[in-house]
Amino acid sequence: MSAMATARLSPTANLLRKSRLFALPQALTPPQAPPTSKSVNESETATLPHPIRASIVTPSSSLSRGDWGLKRPLPAKSTSERSSRPVVRVNALDTFEHITDFESAADHTVTLEKFQELNMPISLPARVTYGTSIIPRHQSPFESHVDNTHTSEGLKEPGARQFRHSGPWLAGQTEAEFQAYLKKVRKNKPEILQKLREYFVAKREAEQRKQAQDNGQDLATLRPVQITDEEFQGYLKKLRADPFSLGPVVFELLDLPSPPAVPSSRLNNPYYQSPGSKLSSAEYVASGPPRTHPSAGLSYTRSHALIYNHPKYGPQAHQRPVEARILRPRGRKGKNTKAIAGVAGIAVEDLNTVTFTEQDSPAGLAYFDASIPGGAKYWATPIRAFVDSEGKIGLASYRASATAKAPYGIDSQKKPGSYSISDVARGDQRMVPRLDRQRSAAAETEEVARNLMKSLGS
């Protein structure tokens, strides 16, 4: 039957059915900026927090001809001549000017490759405290009791949790979005009342079973609960008069995720009580449910139970440390007291820099130092990786210990000496040292003495 259906297809339909370009997924919605009344300066060419279009590659034989499987070939000046491994994303196959709008997709592709080299599984979001030595517990998002949605069969198990609800997160909606959701709920009023009636019957049956158990009666002799319209209307009036009791019923019927906790200043006022959160992570309660799967497809490893086998020293307790580039040094006042570092193409705020003291802090951590070759870096050991509610990668790491660095023969970056550009710029002397040639110890001592005599003479 399938062979006959395939033979009846037209040549165009058969071409589209076998086309890889036709099988590309649709573009995702770009991440929205948070609503604010302040002026926000953003770059149109900045890397997005997560990819919204699929990356396209082509074999080397087709790359030499500029053939990417699209409507027209792409120029080599923007693809093969710019990178040894070109990857593109297509914004439009055919624009009004009869061109193919494309751009390089190496930003997210290279970040994925760098992250996969860390050999780290994705964990559920958890708060990491760098002031203590306690490593946060790893919980895989692929466990059966947390990897559920509102349609999963696993929700029937006791203690099961889910990462997505069918209803929206009310705490993250604007007023316009909330009003649009209310209109949608009002259209489905008959279905919601029918669900509420079933909820009321299930509640009566649970109360009947509990009373029978307390009295020692046989549960098999219980009859189904029958409610009248008057009883149901009385239950509705009771719920409307008590917002504290109506809250859990609304969240249950509409399948809404629980909002953050009510502030203590409003506990004395009447409010709609929310039930306990069913989300898989406690961090989702404050920031909202994730927009994607908690793993985001970055890694499918479920455990940290891996042994890093060194070819010379054997199994190691820690993986090979990676270099963390200091993107922004930590300041002394205001919001810039936390440094920003990059690991595997991921920018992380305050990446364990609070554990450094003034004596052993790496060069370039307290202030920007342009004299460091290649930029300021230090060695770190990643411990946890997760994807937050906005689809951004979060990475937690500790400062690499001497035991972790010893088998690989790596050492921390040394601080610049007294002849670095930054130290001279902060000093009072007017002589700029020569950093482009090697000097002997005798010549260096002689130059220091000469500069000292000039300073005393002035």
Per-residue CA distances from 94 to 28, 103, 174 (Å) = 19, 14, 36
pLDDT tens digits for range 8-31: 778 888 887 878 778 888 888 877
**DSSP classification of residue 172:** G
pLDDT tens digits for range 147-189: 988 888 888 888 888 898 888 988 888 888 899 999 999 999 8
pLDDT tens digits for range 222-273: 778 888 888 888 888 888 888 888 888 888 888 888 888 777 777 777 777 7
Mean pLDDT score, 420-436:
52
Q: Does 433 score more than 60 pLDDT?
A: no
Distance CA 142, CA 302 (A): 7
- Angle separating helix axes 229-241 and 243-254, nearest 10 degrees: 110
Provide the CB-side half-sphere exposure for 332 (13 A, CA). Answer: 2
pLDDT tens digits for range 284-326: 888 888 888 999 888 898 888 888 888 888 998 888 889 888 8
Q: Looking at the DSSP assignment, which residues form a beta bridge with residue 88?
A: 56, 104
Is 338 or 319 the better-scoring residue by pLDDT?
Answer: 319
Q: Does 419 score more than 50 pLDDT?
A: no
CA dihedral 409, 415, 420, 424 (to 10 degrees): 180
Distance CA 340, CA 330 (A): 7
Edge-to-edge strands of the sheet including 377-387? 346-349, 340-343, 322-328, 377-387, 393-399
| Cα angle: 242, vertex 248, 254; to 5 degrees | 120
Distance CA 117, CA 346 (A): 13
* Own/partner long-range contacts of 207-210 (Cβ < 8 Å, ≥24 apart): none
**pLDDT value at position 432?**
53
Q: Regarding beta strands 340-343 and 322-328, do their DSSP bridges make them parallel or antiparallel, or are they unpaired? A: antiparallel
pLDDT tens digits for range 74-98: 998 888 888 888 999 998 888 888 8
Is 104 or 216 the better-scoring residue by pLDDT?
Answer: 104
**pLDDT value at position 132?**
59
Distance CA 118, CA 322 (A): 8
Cβ 91 vs Cβ 103: under 8 Å: yes
Distance CA 75, CA 68 (A): 10
pTM: 0.73
| Cα 223 off chain centre by | 51
Q: Indicate the domain borders of the chain.
A: 47-118, 166-277, 309-408
How would you class 326 by CB atoms within 10 Å of its CB: exposed for 0-12, middle for 13-18, buried for 19 or more?
Answer: buried
Distance CA 104, CA 32 (A): 22
Cβ 193 vs Cβ 216: under 8 Å: no
In the block, residue with structure tokens 């946060």: 136
Residue 205 amino acid letter: E
Distance CA 387, CA 123 (A): 8
**pLDDT value at position 142?**
92
Distance CA 104, CA 90 (A): 9
Nearby residues of 235 by Cβ (< 8 Å), 6 or more positions away: 200
Is 206 or 32 the better-scoring residue by pLDDT?
Answer: 206
Q: Does 33 score more than 80 pLDDT?
A: no
Per-residue CA distances from 97 to 45, 72, 93, 254 (Å) = 22, 13, 11, 48
Cβ 122 vs Cβ 294: under 8 Å: yes
What are the phi and psi torsion angles at 440 (to 5°)?
Answer: -80, 165
Distance CA 375, CA 151 (A): 50
Is 385 or 414 the better-scoring residue by pLDDT?
Answer: 385
Distance CA 188, CA 225 (A): 26
Is 45 or 387 the better-scoring residue by pLDDT?
Answer: 387
Give the mean pLDDT of the chain. Answer: 81
Cβ 286 vs Cβ 262: under 8 Å: no
Mean pLDDT score, 67-77:
88
**pLDDT value at position 227?**
83
**pLDDT value at position 427?**
54
- Model confidence at 278, pLDDT cuts 50, 70, 90, reads confident
**pLDDT value at position 335?**
62
Distance CA 227, CA 248 (A): 21
**pLDDT value at position 390?**
84
**pLDDT value at position 87?**
93
Is 88 or 329 the better-scoring residue by pLDDT?
Answer: 88
Residue 286 amino acid letter: A
Q: What percent of the chain has pLDDT over 90?
A: 7
Is 135 or 160 the better-scoring residue by pLDDT?
Answer: 160
Residue 197 amino acid letter: R
What are the phi and psi torsion angles at 35 (to 5°)?
Answer: -65, 130
How far does the chain reach from its first CA to its final CA, in angstroms? 100
Three-state SS for 398? strand
- Model confidence at 2, pLDDT cuts 50, 70, 90, reads very low
Mean pLDDT score, 334-343:
76
**pLDDT value at position 180?**
92
Nearby residues of 401 by Cβ (< 8 Å), 6 or more positions away: 318, 381
